[in-house]
Amino acid sequence: MRKTLLTYIKPHVQEDPLAMILGIAYLGGAMEQQGLPVELADERILNDSEMKETIERNDVIGFSALTPNIRRAIAWAKYAKEKGKITVMGGPHASVDQGIFLDSGHFDYVIKGEAEETLPQFIKAIEGGNDEDIKAVAGVAGVREGEIWVDNPAPPLIKKLDDLPLPARHLIPMDSFFKMNPERLAYIFTTRGCPFKCIFCQKELTGRGFRVRSTELIVDELEHIVKTYNPGVVLFVDEILTLRKKRIHEMCDEILRRGLKFEWIANTRADCVDYPLLKHMHRAGCRRIYYGWESGSQRMLDVLKKDLTPESIVEAAKMTRRAGIWAKVYLIVGSPGESPADVEETERVLRMASPDLVRVSVFNPLIGTESWDNYQANIDLTDLRDNYVSSNRSAYVHEHFTQIELEQIRKDMVRNYEKWYYAYPQRARRMVERTLYYLENPTFAKKRVGRALGLVPPPSNKIDHLHAG
């Protein structure tokens, strides 16, 4: 039986902490469930010669890559084809832009949409060698002799996430990731989809609905991760973890009931939290929240269809800090029509909100998004074809700024904010806020004092260096 390799292609710049990729792990679990031989590989922890060896010992090579890295995926597919392998591309970009892969001459197939059900079907059809069986697999598009011979629409979204097998973490060298990440970061999904209408998000893969896993299965997986891998911190990679607050209250209750001791991070929106929820999350181990704010200018928030206000952003930051949770925020500069006044307004709101860390990207209209449909006249397609995109640059030709100016704005926004954040007045204010927090939470105050006096051992999973003082 042919053996399948599912591989994640590394970014040209690794900006985020290195951790396992859940996408190929879920697919690996689905393949194992069907009794199909599979190997997982992440190029970020392999050198070129190891990557070549991995490709050479498998028969079907499945690729996954974020949009900025598809050129590298095509290059590796070229190598695989030269070795006589069957090449397949999946993931969000392939689901909206199959042509860039199939037209390259280096991919035999694309699988569109969620593939936990369709990938095993496809591999079985390949093994059987019957074209009609391949044509029966939802989401498959294929090319032969330069011509498309199968092109099926993506399958319906998977309704019951509880039916999916757990991600095959045992097929991934977790220790290799932990060695390259001092926090020992692990990932978990509890939902798929996002109902909001931000114009820059690709939703083809997971949809605009909101599908959830059951609380019991989520905490079962958390318990398995904690006891098996002893991570330093667990990141919930859901787009909006706290969209349904009752669900998170239930999850926190179950974590506390089982006595699980671990630190975790949530991704969410400013309008999807309240103070009681944040306090409950903190009691259950949440120590960081990542917020997608994008801008502090109401005009830009409206352009991006964030459905947020600067006031809600500031209030969420204050509640998060009061609950004892550290906050990182994501911003976008160079949105359509953005002016110097909008940039200044964002910087003003940042200082009002005082998050602990700021990350800024340049606006990029990705294919398959509303921003792509609405602003094609401003997209330099030659630049896009030659360079594609990254968080630091864009093929979008801005109305008011050059690309060099936008890059400088991006850097200056971070530098200016950090200079302000670490200045004495802000450090003193945070000291007062921490004191108020400890008065409200005497249990944590006792632990803090005990650690300061050497009477209580420090937490085993440290992230203290991230909590600016």
pLDDT for 257 equals: 98
What number of other Cβ atoms are within 10 A of residue 273's Cβ?
25
pLDDT for 13 equals: 55
pLDDT for 181 equals: 85
Does CATH place domain 183-423 in 3.20.20.70?
Answer: yes
Distance CA 403, CA 397 (A): 8
Q: Are 138 and 152 in contact (CB under 8 A)?
A: yes
pLDDT for 205 equals: 79
Domain with CATH 3.20.20.70 in the chain: 183-423
- The residues, ordered by sequence, that sit 6+ positions from 345 with a Cβ below 8 Å of its Cβ are 296, 297, 298, 310
| CATH superfamily, domain at 4-151 | Cobalamin-binding domain (3.40.50.280)
pLDDT for 452 equals: 61
What pLDDT, in 10s, does the model give residues 120-154? 999 999 999 999 999 999 999 999 999 999 999 99
Backbone dihedral region for residue 34 (phi beyond 0: left; psi -120 to 50: alpha; all else: beta): alpha
pLDDT for 469 equals: 33
pLDDT for 456 equals: 58
Distance CA 279, CA 284 (A): 9
Backbone dihedral region for residue 369 (phi beyond 0: left; psi -120 to 50: alpha; all else: beta): beta
Return the bridge partners of 144, or none: 147
pLDDT for 256 equals: 98
Tell me which residues of the chain have a pLDDT lower than 70: 12-17, 388-391, 448, 451-469
pLDDT for 433 equals: 80
What number of other Cβ atoms are within 10 A of residue 276's Cβ?
12
Domain with CATH 3.40.50.280 in the chain: 4-151
What pLDDT, in 10s, does the model give residues 154-194? 999 999 999 999 999 999 999 888 988 888 999 999 999 99
Q: Dig out the tokens for 367 from the structure.
A: 């294919």
Output the pTM of the full model: 0.90
Rounded to the nearest angstrom, the gap between the alpha carbon of residue 132 and the centroid of all alpha carbons in its chain is 36
Which residue is associated with the tokens 């249990």?
A: 443
pLDDT for 125 equals: 97
